[in-house]
């Protein structure tokens, strides 16, 4: 298990813990009959930390990203395949026997 995966799991756990505390906070507010304006400060901090960890894990865990530019070196077509289905053998190279006489 590499680091990215572990950090991703940690980030998801932190986010779910933040969700649980927000639900508990709302329950508390219902008892005291106050309005729910937003989660408390520490939950917001926890959310930001969880967000950062999850983003980092999502970018590092999947591995190398592929290029999407059509003219990058990985995607740029330099030549087409030589159409070997239509290959013919009576080209001019027929008259040049190979230099090394190979036997099999």
Partner 1 sequence: MVTKTEETELNQLENQVENGGGGDWEYLCLVRKLKVRRSEIVFKHGLSILNDPGKRSALGPEEWTLYEQVAIAAMDCQSLGVAQNCIKALQKKFPESKRVGKLEALLLEAKGMWEEAEKAYTSLLEENPLDQVIHKRKVAMAKAQGKASLAIEHLNKYLEVFMADHDAWRELAEIYVSLQMYKQAAFCYEELILTQPTLPLYHLAYADVLYTIGGLENLISARKYYAATIDLTGGKSTRALLGICLCGSAIAQLSRGRNKEDKDMAAPELQSLAATALEKEYKQKAPAKLSLLSSALRSLKLS
Q: How far is CA 61 from the centre of its chain?
A: 7
Of 33, 34, 35, 73, the residue at the interface with partner 1 (CB under 8 A) is 73
Q: What's the CA gap between 10 and 50, in Å, rounded?
A: 8
Q: Which stretch binds partner 1 (CB under 8 A): 6-14, 17-25, 38-46, 69-77?
A: 69-77
Are 15 and 45 within 8 A, CB to CB?
A: no
Of 34, 39, 5, 49, nearest in space to 19 by CA: 39
Q: Which stretch binds partner 1 (CB under 8 A): 14-22, 45-53, 55-63, 80-88?
A: 80-88
Minimum distance from CB of 86 to partner 1 (Å)? Answer: 5
Q: What's the CA gap between 54 and 4, in Å, rounded?
A: 9
User: Is the Cβ of residue 32 or residue 83 nearer to partner 1 in the bound state?
Assistant: 83
Q: Which stretch binds partner 1 (CB under 8 A): 9-17, 20-28, 31-39, 79-87?
A: 79-87
């Amino acid at each position: 298990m590499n680091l990215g995966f572990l950090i991703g799991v940690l980030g998801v756990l932190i986010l779910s813990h933040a969700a649980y505390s927000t639900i508990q906070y709302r329950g508390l507010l219902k008892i005291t009959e106050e309005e729910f304006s937003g989660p408390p400060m520490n939950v917001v901090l926890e959310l930001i930390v969880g967000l950062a960890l999850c983003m980092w894990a999502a970018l590092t865990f999947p591995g190398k990203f592929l290029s999407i530019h059509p003219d990058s070196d990985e995607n740029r077509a330099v030549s087409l395949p030589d159409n070997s289905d239509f290959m013919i053998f009576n080209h001019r190279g027929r008259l040049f026997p190979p230099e090394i006489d190979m036997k099999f």
